[in-house]
Structure 1
Amino acid sequence: MSAIVAIWIFIIVARLVLPAIWNAVTNAGPLRDEWQRRGKVAGHRGPGPRSFKGRAGRREWWLSTLGNAVVSVIVGAVPAIGTLLTLPWVVATLAVNARRLHDLSLSAWLQLVPMAFGFAAAFFYFQLGGPDNPPTTSWTFATPEGQFTLLAAATALVYLGFYGLVGFAPGRGGPNAYGEADAA
């Protein structure tokens, strides 16, 4: 019971207290002047975390992705209701991926390619027995276990390629079909 209370306290602090401290720091003094020098409104972070419109640079993508992963792991540890609480972070991850793909002048629908591989691998995993009777690793591709091993390896390579592209490729400079590039 104490772990659940600790997680709820963490969620409250992360959602209420930390933003209040951030607003107090960024709306005063030299940091505000730096924001205005860059042509931004003090405290503005771009589109909202669940917005699929606009563009996101590499820095915004990395910070959002790492933050979403940490929060999803912590909140997902809460039994039963954890999955429901994780859904907002899944939407935020899809949104920042969409904005990052827009920064690369690509369609946000491209993120469905690795997701399709992941869903296919999960479906095949449960067809072979799921967590009660997990498939063994087999390099004999004529067997269902071998085909699952090949699909799981292909899925890992597709995800690695997608996140390599999104995480490390520089954004396209200047305006594109999805909006202006970040001036910073």
Structure 2
Amino acid sequence: MKPAISPAMDPAERDQEFIRLLTAHQGPVLAYIRSLMPGFTGASDILQQTNITLWKKKEVFELGTNFKAWAFAIARNHVMDQRKKLKRNGWLVFSEDVAELFAAEAEDDDLDQDESFRALEVCLSKLRAHDRELVQKRYCESVTLEEYAGQLNRSAGTLKARLFKIRAGLRRCVDRQLQHVSP
């Protein structure tokens, strides 16, 4: 087991351990942000703001505390700040009660996030190249379906329907992968 950050560590060793923890939790923190802001294309920006805050506050991380819970709390604060900005600018956002439900559900999720991400990686690798590219454009890049459809000379509706089928297939594949992992 890797050491947790403690004040007794050499500063360079503390930084190295903090970077390891930060890197190891990028996927779960991004998934948490996306669960709080479904459909919001700026989730990676919120992740970066969260990373900056985590780095600035790294000295307060204590031995024996849960890094993931700490990172989720900071991410949640950034999400709430973003929600306020969107609301001020006239965007329709979920009510605070609905956001609280999303947060509670994401925090209480009893599936091991690492296993889920590994299963998703396996399933994504099984996709045909053009389907994998569609998923990447939609969820990893700041490209709207309409823009990508224009690049391919296809309709956005066609891509939306294809994406629906891909997601359903990925969901089934991930479920099968996790069944093989579970005791």
TM-score (norm 1): 0.32
Q: Which has the larger radius of gyration?
A: 1
